[in-house]
Amino acid sequence: MGHPTDIALVSLGTTMGLRESDAAFARLVRAAGASCEILPVSFGAAGQLRRRSMLLIDVVEALAARRAAARATGRARAIVYSSVTAALLAPAPGVPTAIRFDGIAAQNRPGRGGAWQRRRERSVLGAATLLLPLSEPAAAAAAAATAPAVPPIVLFPPPLDVRRAPARPPSAGAAGGAASSARGTASPPAAAAYAANPDKRGLDLLCEAWRAARPTGDATLAIGGIDRDAGRRWLARHGVDEPPGIEWLGRLDRERWLAVVASAGVFVSAARFEDWGLAQMEALAAGTPLVTTATPGANAALPLAHELAPELVATERTPPTLATALRAGLALDPAQRAAYAARAAAMLEPYGEEALRRRMAEEILPRLLSSSA
């Protein structure tokens, strides 16, 4: 039996991004004057089943989250679930509940493997005290799934460290700019990308577009989240030769990774699907121009990228169209980069820590805690 807490946050924590998001949410709860305990989920031996199918992933994670939520019984004034999956098999709470999500099963669980989740989530979402989607597309999907009895919805994305344009924007070519200690090299990369899940992140398309658009000289594309051996093996299995100029960074801690993104000439995304688009949003927050495909999903970064520079958004997921957008991004001059960064910072002000702390204090905690007093 633990100590009483205002908010118990049931955290799946299956990726670094989810863990960072949950930690930030707890920090904002505390900054707004309430207590928050993160209840991490443990999968045990059943975790091996998560490799077999999307259905098993969701069942195993939902059962594990149910066990974690049980630890809050009798001592939490409200329970927040870190995803729809975490809430699918939640016990009757007896206290107000909220569900955070970057997408719902109706968006990201197509086909027979997601049929149970899509049916179940309607009642789970509809019974919540409060829904906390990370993006407007996720909010719209949740409203459609729960109509006509839609619970209160408060848009609440993860906080971003929004930075103004750098004093010396990096060159679009191979060299120039300040040294990048995060990579241990003397010059920043021409481009950066993230590919921890190479299939979802479209590593094949990314490499083919880079092959076509790479500037002359020793320009590099720094790819985070996957090491050299794993990246080369994945490309070989998919019949793609590694293009010149790839720098495999592997897994970096958050600060080193953000330093790479901030130093890059552009950030490139070839993702097949995006639930929210954390890597792209971090690039925009750093003032780094975003080159991307028109990735489907509850992708918060895509409309911002369209508004900032539509020529950097590839309308088709093909190497030629992404390469064209990449060339346009690499060709931006320092003044254009500075203007892009300044506009991105202004657009991302609602995602800043202070703005979200106010939303937590004024819109979220009153709904969760006043009815449980």
**Which of 24-33, 84-93, 244-253, 339-348 has the lowest average pLDDT?**
84-93
Other Cβ atoms less than 10 A from the Cβ of 148: the count is: 6
| CATH number listed for the domain at residues 191-350 | 3.40.50.2000
- Cα gap 125→313, rounded to integer Å: 33
In this predicted model, what pLDDT tens digit does every residue of 282-293 receive, in sequence order? 999 999 999 999
Residue with tokens 């970096």: 252
Contact 121, 145 (CB under 8 A): yes
Q: Which two tokens stand for residue 288?
A: 């780094």
Region 183-201: what's the mean pLDDT? 87
The DSSP secondary structure of 287-355, one letter per residue, reads TPPEEEE---SS-THHHHHHHH-GGGEESSSSHHHHHHHHHHHHT--HHHHHHHHHHHHHHTGGGSHHH
180 pLDDT more than 60: no
5-157+353-372 matches 191-350 in fold: yes
For residue 76, the cross-strand partners are: 5
Q: Cis omega before residue 243 (within 30°)?
A: no
Q: Is the pLDDT of residue 181 over 90?
A: no
Output the CA angle 324-333-336, nearest 5 degrees.
95
Instruction: Specify whether the CB–CB gap between 76 and 60 falls below 8 A.
Output: no
pLDDT interval class at 371 (50, 70, 90):
low
Long-range contacts of 344-347 (CB under 8 A, 24+ apart): 344/284, 344/285, 344/287, 344/304, 344/308, 345/162, 345/163, 345/164, 345/165, 345/285, 345/287, 347/284, 347/304, 347/307, 347/308
* 8-state DSSP, 360: I
The chain-wide mean pLDDT, for the chain, equals 88
**5-157+353-372 fold:** Rossmann fold (3.40.50)
Does residue 121 register a pLDDT over 70?
A: yes
Helix (H) or strand (E) holding 164: none
Model pLDDT, residue 203: 98
> What is the domain partition of the chain in residue ranges?
5-157+353-372, 191-350
Helices (H) and strands (E) in the chain, counts: 15, 11
Lowest mean pLDDT among 85-94, 278-287, 300-309: 85-94
Residue 199's pLDDT is 95
Let me know: does 130 contact 366? Beta carbons within 8 Å.
Answer: no
- Region 25-49: what's the mean pLDDT? 84
Measured between alpha carbons, how far is 134 from 100 in angstroms, rounded to an integer? 7
Residue 178: pLDDT over 70: no
Rg value, the chain, Cα: 21
d(CA 103, CA 144) in angstroms, rounded, equals: 13
Say what percent of the chain tops pLDDT 90. Answer: 69
d(CA 125, CA 142): 7
Say what the pTM is: 0.81
Average pLDDT estimate for 100-107: 89
How much is the pLDDT for 48?
55
Average pLDDT (15-22) is 83
Instruction: Read off the tokens for 149.
Output: 């009895």
Sorting pLDDT into bands at 50, 70 and 90, what band is 110?
A: confident
Q: How far apart are CA 363 and CA 70, in angstroms?
A: 26
Contact 82, 9 (CB under 8 A): yes
DSSP state of 331: T
**pLDDT beyond 90 at 366:** yes
Residue type, 179: A
